[in-house]
Amino acid sequence: MGKKAKGGDKGGEVLPTEAESTLLLKIAALEEKLARIQHDADSAVGFAATSKDQLAKQKKDQKDIVDYLSMQLAQKKEDYAALEERYAQLVQAKEESEKRLNQMLEDLKAELKETQSKLAASEAQCAQLTAQVIEIGQLRAGAQGDAGAKATLTAELERYKAMLKQSEQHLTVLAVAEDRIIGENGARALPLMLLEAIRLHLAKPVLVEQAMVAMQYVLSEAHGHADSELIRTRGGIDIILDAMRRHAEIAELQSSACGLLWKLAFADPPTRDIVIRSEGIALIMAGMQRHHVHPRLQYNACGALRQMLVTAPRDFSKESQIAAGTRPAELPAVGSMSGRRGRGLPQDPRTLPMRISPGGPVRIASRSNPHLQPLQGPPGSSLRSSMGGRPATIGGSGRRGDDLDPRLAAKEDVSVQALKLTLQSMAAHPETPLVQEYGCGTLLNVVLGGGMSMAQKLYGEAGVPTILEAMRTHPMATGVQIHSCALIKELAEFQPALKLIEDGGGRSLLLAALHNHQYNDELLTRATEALRYLPEELKIEL
């Protein structure tokens, strides 16, 4: 047992014994160890909790990884299935491509074989052609020796053809029965001799022009109708038109030819049909346009046109109007012409109903014919009748005007072309009575043949002022007044033209014509009838 401490009454604390100290030391060591174990246990518990959390987190992560890998695996399976399907398609496409390529290869082999066959055939043909070329070369070489003889024979053949044609024309012109055609003692052979002179010397324009003038004088004799028929039946119309084609630039020849055609058509109506069929209308109008400054040509052409427009308008066609590039003479378009088509003459003017005037039936075209009476022109003028002599040429000739359009006029009707060219001629030569007279006569026939449509065209081309100006400028020219009065009567049925006639002094001009030509029955009839077509308020007691 322990011992008491010294120095006190109470004895103090009892000191532990050695065994107790040992036990205390062991207890302290055990407590320390317990504390350490407790600490380790606490540490182990904390580590276990941490490990548990980490394990739970790891399990969760593993679960996520498994889910992701499962999803990836499913996706890969789908991709693999798609790849398998695509692979199957590619395999199928490959097989089809192989089949197609094999077929193409077979086709190409067949084509190559065919091409080789063709090539072999071409080589054979080439060899054959080469042989033929060599043969042709040999033939040409052999023919060169005969070239001179061939050229000589060709030239001789052409010469014989020309001689044959000349002989045929010569026979046509001169082969006549003397007792039946050329008259007693050959009195009527002169027209045929002149025609033969023209035929033989077509290349000499002066001789041809003089022969045509002489023929006009011959046709003015009493038997002019029979002579005109004789010239027509002997091919004279074609010879005259041929001369016009050959010498289109020579105004005097064109004028004489137009005058001759005028007389022939007047004396022998069948001549008109031949002129129309042979494109003579185109030649006449081409001459008018080419030589617009030549007054004698203008009035001869107007006279010829007037005779052509009297008959057979239904025969006018594009071909008869314009030589479509195959003849020497072609009619260019008038500068003022438009591109519109006109209307042809609907009926023969000779079949139109005649208007009865107080003085009896109206006589159409009494002055516009080759058998003219002398006109009283201004003092000192060179105006002559067609029977007495040729009027002098006023102004230059032979030069084409700069204002003319060289286009072909095939788009318009013959009547419209004639109307426009006639108005152009009258406007270019206002002081020449014959141009005005025959121009008015041509316009009258055009209007009579075309009716209201031609009256409208004449009005549209400013024809009314031109007609009134002709009456005003040449009050004493009987032919001008006769045809102008007849034109006024025809135009009065077209209201716009009637208004223009009134405004232009038409009534006073008609009254002046009545006063100046009191002893000309035909003019009095025409003027009186024209006055009756004017409105009542404009007429006066005569």
Tokens representing residue 187 in the block: 């009195």
Helix ranges (H only) for 392-520 are 414-428, 433-460, 463-473, 478-491, 495-503, 506-516
Choose from 323-332, 375-384, 505-514 the range with maximum mean pLDDT. Answer: 505-514
Q: Measured between alpha carbons, how far is 434 from 504 in angstroms, rounded to an integer?
A: 23
Q: Which residue has the higher pLDDT, 371 or 424?
A: 424
Q: For residue range 469-499, list pLDDT tens digits in order.
A: 999 999 999 989 999 999 898 888 888 888 8
SS3 sequence of 439-451 = HHHHHHHHHHHHH
SS3 98: helix
Q: For residue range 65-109, list pLDDT tens digits in order.
A: 999 999 999 999 999 999 999 999 999 999 999 999 999 999 999
Mean pLDDT across the chain? 74
Burial (CB < 10 A; 0-12, 13-18, 19+), residue 410, is middle
Q: Which residue has the higher pLDDT, 473 or 321?
A: 473
pLDDT score, position 42? 84
Evaluate if residue 424 carries a pLDDT over 60.
yes
Q: For residue range 214-259, list pLDDT tens digits in order.
A: 888 888 766 777 888 888 888 899 999 999 999 999 999 999 999 9
Q: Confidence class of residue 390 from pLDDT cuts 50, 70 and 90?
A: very low
Look up tokens 């409208």; give the residue: 456
Domain 164-374+384-461 classified CATH 1.10.3470?
Answer: no
pLDDT score, position 542? 39
Q: Return the sign of the alpha-carbon dihedral for residues 200, 204, 207, 209.
A: positive
pLDDT score, position 247? 93
Q: Confidence class of residue 533 from pLDDT cuts 50, 70 and 90?
A: confident
Q: Which residue has the higher pLDDT, 526 or 386?
A: 526
Look up tokens 């040999």; give the residue: 138
Q: Which residue has the higher pLDDT, 191 or 113?
A: 113
Q: Give yes or no for a contact between 478 and 472, defined as CB atoms under 8 angstroms apart.
A: no
What values do phi and psi take at 356, rounded to 5? -85, 125
Stated as kind and residue range, the H or E segment containing 214 is helix 205-219
Q: Confidence class of residue 323 from pLDDT cuts 50, 70 and 90?
A: very low
Q: In 3D, which of 495, 482, 473 has the Cα closest to residue 529?
A: 482
pLDDT score, position 92? 92
Beta-carbon neighbour count of residue 348 at 10 Å?
14
Q: For residue range 245-299, list pLDDT tens digits in order.
A: 999 999 999 999 999 998 898 888 898 889 988 888 889 988 888 888 888 888 8
Model-level pTM greater than 0.75? no
SS3 238: helix
What values do phi and psi take at 361, rounded to 5? -65, 145
Distances (CA, A) of 189 to 175, 201, 393: 11, 18, 31
pLDDT score, position 344? 32
Burial (CB < 10 A; 0-12, 13-18, 19+), residue 130, is exposed
- What is the pairing mode between strands 360-361 and 356-357? antiparallel
The number of CA neighbours under 13 Å toward the Cβ of 14 is 7
Q: What would the mean pLDDT of 51-67 be, rounded to a whole number?
A: 88
